[in-house]
Amino acid sequence: MSLPIVNKSTFVGFSISLSVLVPIIFMGCELEAGALGVPGAGTQTALEGELSKAESTIEALRTEIARTPETDEKSKQTTEDTVVPEDKESSEAKESSEAKESGEAKADYESVKESVQFDTPGWMALGKLAAKDVTGRAGFEGIFVNTPSSDGGTGQIVTGVAEVTYSTGAVLPYVKGEQPPNIIDPIYSPALVRKLEQGDPGELVDIVLNLKDDLILTPLPRFKDAERGSDEWKKIDAVRQVEIDKIKTARKIQFGEFRDLIRGKIKFEIVYIPWIANTPIITVSLDSVKMLAELDQVINISLNVENSPTQGPDGDAANDMLDVRQQLRTTPYDSWNLNWGYLAVIDTGVRLTHSMLDDQNGDWSGDCFNSGNNCWGDGGAPNGAAGTTFPAYSVADTAFNNSGHGTPIKAGISGSADIAAELRGITQVTTDSWKAVNATNGLPSGTVSRALQKAVDSGSNISTNSYGGWGARGNNPAFDNMYDLGMGVFVAANNSACESNWDPTLVGNPPAPRGWRDFDCTDNVARVPGISFDQNGVQMVEPAFGSMSGGAHKAITVGAHEIDTPCSALGVNSNVCSYSGRGPALDGRYKPDILGYTNWESGRANNDNATGSFGGTSAATPSIAAMAQIYNNFLEKGSNFASWLSPGHVYATVLGSGEHQTFWEGSYNYIGVEPNISTLNIEGVGRPRMFVNGTLYYGSAQINDTGDIATVNLKVPDGACGIQSAIWWPEGSVQFHSDIDIHLVNPDDVIFAAGQSGNSVWERASINTDAGLAEGNYKARILGFDVKQSQQVFYAIHVQKSLCWDG
């Protein structure tokens, strides 16, 4: 949950004590058609058969609930060191306490039971509420558009306005309990904790201060399909630059106030003041860090250099980009010519003369480490230049012994087929490259901020960020603010799930430039601050939960899935690579959000025709960012570049393309490693496949209070293979968390699929059936279950006629 910070005086590991754990029986997978209870259009016999299927499914759920214990073994244990006298008074107190716990467990159990019995009067009543038509109104804008044909044919684009109704005052059919009132957010990043423990108090360190921010950012005007440098592009850019200048001025004022606060108390030097976020980078002595941490304005503190490229091991070079395109199902979108816009790669530079990259038109690149604030050194667009002021300026990609890291990313996103057709990139969108590494392959937060600012300044729709480190969060405010300004942000989950034993003195090349040691995925090392113990207090075999970076609220975090399974890495064979960072985020949100594909062959930087394998979450992240750029352009085309379009719509569409369904966990206090929850903190929605052969409904709804329902009406043709849906909403890092669910409802107002987790800021619900759905008017209900503040919710619902996810 995203809650106010209440205690930041000491570093606290991620640990929550649970007294009662309610088993979950509503699994996070797609429901089969038998759960529908949808009456067909045929004979009475067919109708009875469908009803029989529904009754069988409900009975199966009841049976599973009945055989599920109401408490776990941990709740029955007592601590060995505690002696309880068995006198009458204590015995009575014990019986009373046990009765109370049993009653609480039973109440939670009944709540879970009610949550899956969708044929009950409480659930059915939701469809009988009085509703008003809000179609097309501000806050409820939405479109439907046909998705491309899987055979690659262009077809005719059919669009229309999504029909939406709104009702209030719904009585919730079951109780989830109270959300935790607050959380404890560690003031220091894990790397800084180790530095404070092991460093010299007088040592000078560069730190990132995440300060409270009262500046409200709004989306900048979109460039739409304007060509870079055209008159239309210049006109839009002029408006954007005015708004950016306002932000820069506000940041100067903010830092001036903070500087006055610490002047005379703490000696410091300014390293860099970003405008993208209120996160100044300063140099101080290590013993001054604790003094800064006591200031009310300081949210958290990180070391400036905690990130490095997230390239992982790759033992399989047989997979080309063609395999990635096939897995993501991007080819049907190629015929729609969705090639406008700009995608930004924040990474290690690029080999511009590479045969797969030398014919892009209008792409920009720059060195944001060895340059001024414009990332172009002594030159200008498109690629900057070295000169008297910045003699070390270079966009060259020399990482990993000159094989590069940013080069294969850019080639994988939009590389040409000049070397081989099977190596062609996922999309043909213009891709910019902003170099953000120092001489040792570290990515300082200040340099990353400068690169992110350049991406915003250049008008990119999407950015991909293949770097990270365990617990690294110095750039999270910048990621959130990039979303607020109108850019979709995709971040690697990192390759740190198996790392431990931070050593701040270690200097070396990847995979351990940050100072981490021990890369065995099969041991039982307690990996602070990761979750090393399960809900029963038993030490787990790693990889560790809670190890991911990229935990920003408004960014999509990407884990790594092998194309040709299994992924063999660090002693483990698995579909999801063992090193791929795991969630949850510190406040309980599911992370990563999605899986991308890793271990594929693309262009490398050794020479102009070099190719080679590329792995890790570094490879997975750009595969999803490229898909998101295609979706961005598709949504723009479907809505005729509507002014209300947001990266939130793109996020919902990307998440809806996944494979896993969310569910009510049973408690807001679950720590994220429970058997039925853990998958979502390893995979998120899982592997995606782009929507084809159907109709996509996308838009947003304003959910103002608990019990509010926005209903999107869906027209389902006879025999459709399924419906995939997702919602996502943008919460700030200091907001209270709102719990919002999505239900899919058949023509008889019976819910047949639901996404209803407690901790996430996205939900996914879907149905996939070989038998085909009955024709009719279906609904997607967006339900405010526990709403703390008015919340804009983005939705994407796809009615697919054929070739559903596994087709």
Q: What is the pLDDT of residues 190-229, one digit of tens each?
A: 889 888 988 899 999 999 999 999 999 999 999 999 999 9
Into how many domains does the chain fold?
A: 3
Q: What pLDDT score was predicted for residue 86?
A: 38
Q: What pLDDT score was predicted for residue 784?
A: 97
Q: What angle do CA 403, 361, 394 make, to 5 degrees?
A: 40
Q: Both 288 and 344 in a single domain? A: no
How far apart are the C-alpha atoms of 730 and 141, rounded to whole Å? 17
Which residues, including other chains, have CB under 8 Å from residue 211's CB and lie 6 or more apart?
254, 258, 278, 279, 280, 297, 298, 299
Residue type, position 117, single letter: Q
Q: Both 151 and 214 in a single domain? A: no
Residue 588 has pLDDT above 60, yes or no: yes
Q: How many CA atoms lie within 13 A of 544 on its CB side?
A: 30
Q: How confident is the model at residue 67 (pLDDT cuts 50, 70, 90)?
A: very low
Q: How many CB atoms lie within 10 A of CB 117?
A: 16
Q: How confident is the model at residue 806 (pLDDT cuts 50, 70, 90)?
A: low
Q: What pLDDT score was predicted for residue 586?
A: 87
Q: What pLDDT score was predicted for residue 624?
A: 99
**What integer is the mean pLDDT of 498-524?**
58
**What integer is the mean pLDDT of 123-136?**
93
The encoded tokens of residue 609 equal 């025709």
Whether 100 is in a domain gets the answer: no
How far apart are the C-alpha atoms of 626 and 645, rounded to whole Å? 18
Q: How confident is the model at residue 16 (pLDDT cuts 50, 70, 90)?
A: very low
Q: What pLDDT score was predicted for residue 805?
A: 67
Residue 56 has pLDDT above 70, yes or no: no
- DSSP characters for 236-267? HHHHHHHHHHHHHHHHHHHHHHHHHHHTTTS-
Query: Residue 488 sits in a domain of what CATH number?
Result: 3.40.50.200
- Distance of alpha carbon 376 from the chain centroid: 31
Q: How many CB atoms lie within 10 A of CB 217?
A: 18
Q: Both 491 and 621 in a single domain? A: yes
Q: How confident is the model at residue 541 (pLDDT cuts 50, 70, 90)?
A: confident
pLDDT tens, position by position, 322-368: 999 999 999 999 989 999 999 999 999 999 999 999 998 899 999 99
Q: How confident is the model at residue 593 (pLDDT cuts 50, 70, 90)?
A: very high
Phi, psi of 347 (to 5 degrees): -160, -140
- DSSP characters for 614-678? E-SHHHHHHHHHHHHHHHHHHHHHHTTS-TT--HHHHHHHHHHTSS------S-TT--S-STTTT
Q: What pLDDT score was predicted for residue 440?
A: 84
- The 3-state DSSP class for residue 71 equals coil
For the four alpha carbons of 69, 74, 80 and 83, in that order, the dihedral sign comes to: negative
Rg (the chain; Cα; Å): 26
Q: Both 287 and 354 in a single domain? A: no
CA distances from 683 to 532, 560, 576, 594, 598 (A): 18, 8, 8, 6, 14
Q: What angle do CA 446, 220, 376 make, to 5 degrees?
A: 40
**What integer is the mean pLDDT of 553-565?**
93
Q: What pLDDT score was predicted for residue 398?
A: 95
Q: Both 415 and 496 in a single domain? A: yes
Phi, psi of 431 (to 5 degrees): -120, 120
The encoded tokens of residue 20 equal 């009662």
| Stretch among 7-16, 119-128, 161-170, 649-658 having the lowest mean pLDDT | 7-16
Q: Both 475 and 613 in a single domain? A: yes
Q: What pLDDT score was predicted for residue 83?
A: 31
Q: Both 745 and 621 in a single domain? A: no
The encoded tokens of residue 574 equal 């698995």
Q: What pLDDT score was predicted for residue 565?
A: 83
| Stretch among 494-498, 501-505, 712-716, 756-760 having the lowest mean pLDDT | 501-505
Q: Residue 456: which domain range? A: 321-501+520-529+547-659
Phi, psi of 255 (to 5 degrees): -70, -35
Q: What pLDDT score was predicted for residue 155?
A: 72
Domain termination site, one of 268, 303, 338: 303
Whether 554 is in a domain gets the answer: yes
CB 26 within 8 A of CB 113: no
Domain termination site, one of 303, 338, 355: 303
- Using the CB atoms, write b or e for 58-68: b if 16+ within 10 Å: beebeeebeee
Q: What pLDDT score was predicted for residue 259?
A: 96
How far apart are the C-alpha atoms of 724 and 801, rounded to whole Å? 11
Domain termination site, one of 270, 303, 336: 303
The better pLDDT of the pair 579, 703 is held by 703
Phi, psi of 227 (to 5 degrees): -75, 135
Whether 427 is in a domain gets the answer: yes
Q: How many CB atoms lie within 10 A of CB 382?
A: 16
pLDDT tens, position by position, 702-721: 999 999 999 999 999 999 99
Which residues, including other chains, have CB under 8 Å from residue 133's CB and lie 6 or more apart?
163, 164, 165
Q: Both 721 and 608 in a single domain? A: no
The encoded tokens of residue 787 equal 């709403």
What are the E-state strand segments in 176-251? Answer: 204-211
- The 3-state DSSP class for residue 779 equals strand
The encoded tokens of residue 552 equal 């920003």
Q: How many CB atoms lie within 10 A of CB 684?
A: 29
Residue 43 has pLDDT above 90, yes or no: no
Q: How many CB atoms lie within 10 A of CB 44?
A: 7
Which residues, including other chains, have CB under 8 Å from residue 686's CB and lie 6 or more apart?
561, 594, 595, 658, 659, 660
Whether 274 is in a domain gets the answer: yes
With 0-12 / 13-18 / 19 or more C-beta atoms within 10 angstroms meaning exposed / middle / buried, residue 642 is middle
Q: Both 162 and 238 in a single domain? A: no
Q: How confident is the model at residue 318 (pLDDT cuts 50, 70, 90)?
A: low
- DSSP characters for 288-356? HHHHHHTSTTEEEEEESEEEEE----------BHHHHHHHHT-HHHHTTT---SEEEEEES---TTSTT
The better pLDDT of the pair 805, 543 is held by 543
Q: What pLDDT score was predicted for residue 34?
A: 36
| Stretch among 94-98, 225-229, 258-262 having the lowest mean pLDDT | 94-98
**What integer is the mean pLDDT of 40-57?**
43
Query: Residue 156 sits in a domain of what CATH number?
Result: 2.60.120.380
Q: How many CB atoms lie within 10 A of CB 609?
A: 12
**What integer is the mean pLDDT of 684-713?**
97
Q: Both 159 and 292 in a single domain? A: no
What integer best gives the mean pLDDT of the chain?
84
Q: Cis omega (within 30 of 0) on the bond before 584? A: yes
Sheet bearing 791-800, strands edge to edge = 159-161, 142-146, 694-703, 791-800, 722-728, 762-768
The length of the chain is: 807
Q: How many CB atoms lie within 10 A of CB 483?
A: 22
| Stretch among 90-94, 181-185, 337-341, 625-629 having the lowest mean pLDDT | 90-94
Whether 89 is in a domain gets the answer: no
Q: Both 346 and 462 in a single domain? A: yes
CA distances from 616 to 124, 437, 542, 595 (A): 46, 18, 18, 12
Q: How confident is the model at residue 512 (pLDDT cuts 50, 70, 90)?
A: very low
- Distance of alpha carbon 398 from the chain centroid: 29
Helix and strand numbers, DSSP H then E, in the chain? 14, 30
How far apart are the C-alpha atoms of 201 and 180, rounded to whole Å? 37
Whether 612 is in a domain gets the answer: yes
The better pLDDT of the pair 705, 499 is held by 705
**What integer is the mean pLDDT of 185-189?**
88
For helices 445-457 and 231-262, what crossing angle results, to 10°? 150
Q: Both 369 and 299 in a single domain? A: no
Alpha helix positions (H), 21-124: 44-66, 88-116, 121-124
- The 3-state DSSP class for residue 409 equals helix
Whether 69 is in a domain gets the answer: no
Sheet bearing 132-133, strands edge to edge = 132-133, 164-167, 709-716, 776-786, 739-745, 751-755
Q: What pLDDT score was predicted for residue 720?
A: 96
β-partners of residue 211 are: 298
| Stretch among 66-70, 453-457, 566-570 having the lowest mean pLDDT | 66-70
Whether 512 is in a domain gets the answer: no
Q: What pLDDT score was predicted for residue 735?
A: 86
How far apart are the C-alpha atoms of 551 and 210, rounded to whole Å? 14
CA distances from 669 to 23, 178, 587, 672, 675 (A): 13, 10, 10, 9, 15
- Using the CB atoms, write b or e for 248-274: b if 16+ within 10 Å: eebbeebbeebeeebeeebebeebbbb
Tokens 């607020």 belong to 484
The encoded tokens of residue 370 equal 């060895």
